Structure formats: structure tokens, C-alpha cells
Chains A and B, each alone.
Chain A
Amino acid sequence: MLSIKNLTASINGTPVLKGIDLEIKAGEIHAIMGPNGSGKSTLGKVLVGHPSYEVTGGEVTFDGKNLFDLEPDVRARAGLFMGFQHPIEVPGVSNAAFLRLAYNKKAEAEGRDELDPLEFDDFIREKIKLVSMKEEFLDRSLNEGFSGGEKKRNEILQMAVLEPKLAILDELDSGLDIDALRVLGDAVNRLMRPERALLVITHFPRILETIRPQFVHVLSGGRILKSAGPELAVELEERGYDWVLEEAAAGGSR
């Protein structure tokens, strides 16, 4: 589904990704972990098309198409989703109107029927149950005055509305208490399908107790230093990141 080959990228001329290789197939859950400032959030931003980052080399295909040929909104309608670490606030734009426009843009792209406000109201009232969100949040301005946890709930609600093929979840656990983390983790699991995939970016392994990856990668200094199965997450929980960095330094640059 997603194939990343020797991807390099920079911001303001400074290299931040220095050769990333990653294959994600349908049905898989991958976790990218790493210390702060390792470039793991950068990878997500580059994939969705953040304009501050410049792709300097390598290639990425999504469902066989060159990802970088597509505008960010086209990537989204093709099924690429990112749950942001810090969702922005937009005063005056109602959450429900935003969700409906996003839904209808995707429906239009896929040749499905768009939903009018009343139809969408029925649709969204079902969806909010999945993330245990109160209905009042639909009428409020998009993310405005939402707590950290409410913003994350809203991100997963958007994922539920758009049903992406590949969802990148950037630090879903930041700003969440344990109960909320479990609710949203369960919601993500329920949205998972054999034809879909997940890329979970996280600093702390705790979220991986709910969303269980088959593949865990440690990213640091703009490179993937180590890839292994779920046992790697457990080891990182016990031993921290330093040993992986030391091991990589001893074994050469890759």
C-alpha cells in the first residue's frame, strides 16, 4: 500500500530525513518510535504534504501512485489520513460543517452520494458514539476551546468519518489520560480492516498495549535504526532508547 524508498527531506535547507525505507501492506499495523527530535513526526508530515518540508530524494508510492505528484487534498481523498499531534483551532467554522464538507469531498471523489445536512446529522450521531464524544461538540467551532483530549477525540472521529486506507496517528497519546487513551485506542482498532493499514508514531510504548503493531521501527537522526516485531516495544519500555542508538553507532550508520 505504502512504499517508501530512500526518502530524504529537509526543512529550511537542513536535512531531517536521511534515507528512510519502509513498506506497509494492507492489514498491517506499524509503529514508529524514537526519542524526541528524532524526525518521526517529520516523516508523517512529509507524507501528507506539509509545505515547510522539501523532499530532496527517494520515492514514495501510495497504492502504486507517486505520492509526491498529488496535492495534499488529493492524497487525503485517495485515502491517506493523519491524526495530528496538535490539531488547529478554527473559530467560527462549526465542527459538523467541517466534518460534512470533508465527508462530501471524499464521497464526491469516489462517486458516492453526498449527504445533505440532515442525512449527515444521522450519520455523525452514530459515529460520535465510537469515540464517546458529546453531541454538543458537533455544534462548536472546530477544535476551538477543546481540551487536548477532546481534540484527539475529534481527530479519531474524523478518521471514523473518512475511513482512510492508511491512517498515520502522530502522538495520539499525548494529552490523553489512561481512560481516554483506551477509548480512542479501541476506536482505532474497530476501524481497522484487512484492506486498511495503520502507522502509529509515538514516543511512549503505552499506546501500543491497545493498538498492537506487528512491526516496530526505531527512528533517530532521520534514519530507521532498528526494525523488529512487537517485542521491540516491550524492550524499549524497559530499557529506553539509548541502547538502540549505541548499538547503531557501533554497527555503522545504518
Chain B
Amino acid sequence: MNSTFTGVTSQEYKYGFVTDIEADSVAPGLSEDVIRFISAKKGEPDWLLDFRLKAYRHWLTMTEPDWAKVAYPKPDFQKIVYYSAPKAKAPKYASMDEVDPELKRTFEKLGVPLNEQAALAGVAVDVVFDSVSVTTTYKEKLKAVGIIFCSFSEAVREHPDLVKKYLGSVVPYSDNFYAALNSAVFTDGSFVFIPKGVACPMDLSTYFRINNKESGQFERTLIVAEEGASVSYLEGCTAPQFDTNQLHAAVVELVALDQASIKYSTVQNWYAGDKDGVGGIFNFVTKRGLCKGRASHISWTQVETGSAITWKYPSCILLGDDSIGEFYSVALTNHKQQADTGTKMVHIGRNTKSTIISKGISAGDSSNSYRGLVKVQPKAEGARNFSQCDSMLIGQTCSASTFPYIEVQNRSARVEHEATTSKIGEEQLLYFQQRGIPAEEAISMIINGFCKDVFRELPMEFAVEATKLLSLKLEGSVG
């Protein structure tokens, strides 16, 4: 039986090409000078440089966390390139025609919907290539209803008051080691502002891609939905194939005011390293949403299939009364991949509700852990949580773990936790094969069935992509 599953491991990384574009980079290493360089390069105001320097000084006092169930050589932070921007004829593109044709071909290979097809699909894309946002589509259309959707750098220039008001308000620079690092050196990212009462007329989408071999990607995303506003945001990630590890330490902050709703969906397919565990992205990301207002709603949906190491806990702080937090996750690991992912739901307001659905799939020699905290604070009268964490194992040499932490400080709270572990074993596979269905299709069907509760939370085109991606990741010479 083992041989049936070893073939599952032979999937080649489809996005493993490098784009040859002259990059404008700083020398590797981190110091206050590098931070000043980045800040100056971007023409930032003093308050932002201060924010960066405070973060950097705090970061120097911190040590890398080691409580996660992942093992890896600690990155040498002095070997990382902290700023790498594609050189361009002009600092800004007025239209797609001005974009480097090489870059456009890259996006075509990635399948990024930047062209007319994007228009038909109704997707506005803010593309981050290494660290600088290349182009933002649909800005005008969104502008008409008062929505701001732009690169983080542009937001700093054009809307400094908004950025200053909300930056670090959900994830303070002192929050954790990687968040502090990001706060010191972030180069770009996305900014979204949905004004009061506006429902964003289309899904907003950002595609991240790490291109430069030694560069870390430290993007910063800030999404603010004012009273009664709503938005659905999609994030897709890929990275080319290198035999060295690349660090990705992003920070995403979401703020939802009264009755606002933010839905954040991610399909993550960073390069995972080869089958022996060489290379791949270290993905250490801090994502947190603040349900600040009454009856606000934040929903995280993630499909994590890539990265050598995943360390990621998209969380919700349920501050406003009657607010709702949701976390839907599929994490697939194969070969030597390690994932320690989950969520935190912190109930502070009254009658707050949270739902956690986590599906972990492990194959090959991988390790896949769910780590989740449900915390009900003393004043969270009537708080409710439902958690379901299911693990599926494929083959004999992978592992799955579940670490649920539950802290309840209010007696009226109701917290339910369910967990299952199952195996795509011989019997299941034989059952499908006995009905004439080949092993690969059988695995794909079983996996998609297993993930159904999460996939139905994804926007349509993402759900299709996610389904394909999982099949692709487990494809090989099964049988």
C-alpha cells in the first residue's frame, strides 16, 4: 500500500519559473540604516519611519518563537534582502501597456486575470511583485462609490490620516517576532477602505508572488470597513522555485465597524520545497481581524497548500456586541512540508459568536497541526463557539496533531469542540477502485468531499481553483 501513496509525492511545482527583470535592491542585511533607506526610497512621512524604528528596536529585544510544531533552520536575518523593486521606465504605470512585457508574461503564466478577462470576471487585481505594487485596476470604478483600493505605499501618500489611524491598531508592532519584523521593514502591500454603508460591488483581489531569490516578502495589508460596509477580498500566492528558503512574513489587519462585514479568502500555493525538503517558503504570517463595532462580521477562509513551513493563525477579536468571527481552513501538506496553523477567537463583547472549521490533510512525510484558541472573556455574556477540526492522513509516514486551547471566563458561554481523524486507507481506496474509479480520481474525490464545508465558503472561481490545486498537489503515479 505504501507504494500506492509514494507516487502521490511526485507533483512538480507549476509556477517554478524566475522572471528576469532588473531589480532595484538594497544589499542584504538589516539595520536602522536599511530601514531609513526603505522609508526614504518610498518617501514616507516621519511618523511612519518612527513606527518602523520603534518596531525594529522592539524586535531586537525579541526571540524567534519555538512553540509551534515545526522544525527548521532559523533564518539568518542578515542575509535577507529587505528591499527589491522591479526597475521600471517610470515609477508608476498609467495603463497596462506600459508594464514590462516580461512582467506581463509572468502574470500570464500565473494566470493572473489582469487583462480583459479580468473585466469579464469582475475582479479588480492589485498585484504585488516582490515588494512594489505594479498596477491597480478598477480603481476608477471603485472610486466612484468612495472605495479606496490601492497599494499600501500609495495609501501612505494619498490617505495618510486613514493609514495612521488604523495601522497597528489590530496587530501592534510589539505583537510577535515576525509582526515586529514586518512592521520595521514592510515594503508594500494593499490598502482597502470601504466607506460607511457601501457594499463593495466586486470581489477585490491581490496576487502575491515572490520572485527575487534572497528576498523576503514583507507585505502589509490593511482593510477597513466602516459602518454597514461590506467587502470580499481574495488573496492568491505563488513563488518561483529556488533551492534556498525564502522568508515571507506578512501582516494583515482587518477592521470592521458597526454592522460591517469583511470576508477574506486566501489560496496559498507558495513553493513548498522539493520532495526532500530542500528550498521552499517560510511562511510566518500574522493575520488578525478586529470586529470593533456592534454586529460586525469577519470571516477568514484559507486554503493552504504550499510553503515549506506554515505558521499562521488568522484570528478574530470579537469586541463589538453581537459580532461574528469565522475561520474556515483547509491545510494540505505533502513531502516534508510542515504546517502549524489555526485561529484565535477572542470573545470580548456580549452575544458574540464564532465558528471554526478546520480540515487538515497530510501526505508524504509531512506534519500538519491545528492550533486554535477560543477565549471567552468575563464580560462576553452569551458567547458561543463551535469548532470542528478534522484531520485526514494519506499514507503511513505523515502526522496530524490538534492543539485546541479553550479558556472560558464567563459561565453563560457555550463552547463546543469536535475533532476527528481519518485515513484514506486501503479500504476506502479499494471501494472506489472496485467501482471502476482510478486511484487518483478516488483520492481527489475523497479529499474534495472532506473539504466541502470549507470550499463552499470560497468565492466561486477560487473554489474551482482550490479544488484543482488540491488534486494537483496529490497527483502522481498512484497505483
Contact = CB atoms under 8 A, between A and B. Distances in A.
Given A76-B436, A92-B451, A162-B436, A87 B441 contact: no
Contacts of A109: 436
A91 B450 contact: yes
Given A90-B446, A92-B451, A84 B436 contact: no
A51 B4 contact: yes
Interface residues of B, number: 26
A91 B428 CA distance: 11
Interface residues of A, number: 30
Contacts of A92: 448-453
Interface of A: 48-52, 71-73, 76-77, 81-82, 84, 87-88, 90-93, 97-98, 101-102, 105-106, 109, 141-142, 158, 162
Contacts of B441: 101
A8 B428 CA distance: 25
Given A50-B426, A51-B4, A88-B431, A73 B448 contact: no
15 contacts: A49-B434, A51-B426, A51-B430, A71-B479, A72-B433, A73-B432, A73-B436, A92-B448, A92-B449, A92-B453, A97-B445, A98-B445, A105-B435, A141-B449, A142-B449
Interface in B441-473: 441, 445-446, 448-453
Nearest to B455: A92
Given A50-B430, A72-B430, A91 B436 contact: no
Contacts of A105: 435-438
A106 to B, nearest CB: 5
Of listed A87, A91, A141, residue having the most chain B CB within 10 A: A91
Given A92-B452, A92-B453, A158 B426 contact: no
Of listed B434, B436, B438, B446, residue having the most chain A CB within 10 A: B436
B48 interface: no
Which 5 A/B pairs are nearest by Cβ-Cβ distance? A92-B449, A93-B449, A102-B435, A72-B433, A92-B452
Nearest to B442: A73
B434 A101 contact: no
Nearest to B429: A51
A144 B188 CA distance: 48
A106 B436 CA distance: 7
Contacts of B418: none
B185 to A, nearest CB: 42
B192 to A, nearest CB: 33
Given A73-B439, A76-B436, 19 more contacts: A48-B430, A48-B434, A52-B1, A52-B426, A76-B435, A77-B436, A82-B434, A84-B431, A84-B434, A88-B428, A91-B449, A92-B449, A92-B450, A92-B452, A92-B453, A93-B445, A102-B436, A109-B436, A162-B436
Interface in B1-50: 1, 4
B97 interface: no
B328 to A, nearest CB: 14
A73 B437 contact: yes
B76 interface: no
A106 B434 CA distance: 11
Contacts of A101: 437, 441, 445
A49 B430 contact: yes
B96 to A, nearest CB: 39
A81 B434 contact: yes
Contacts of A141: 449
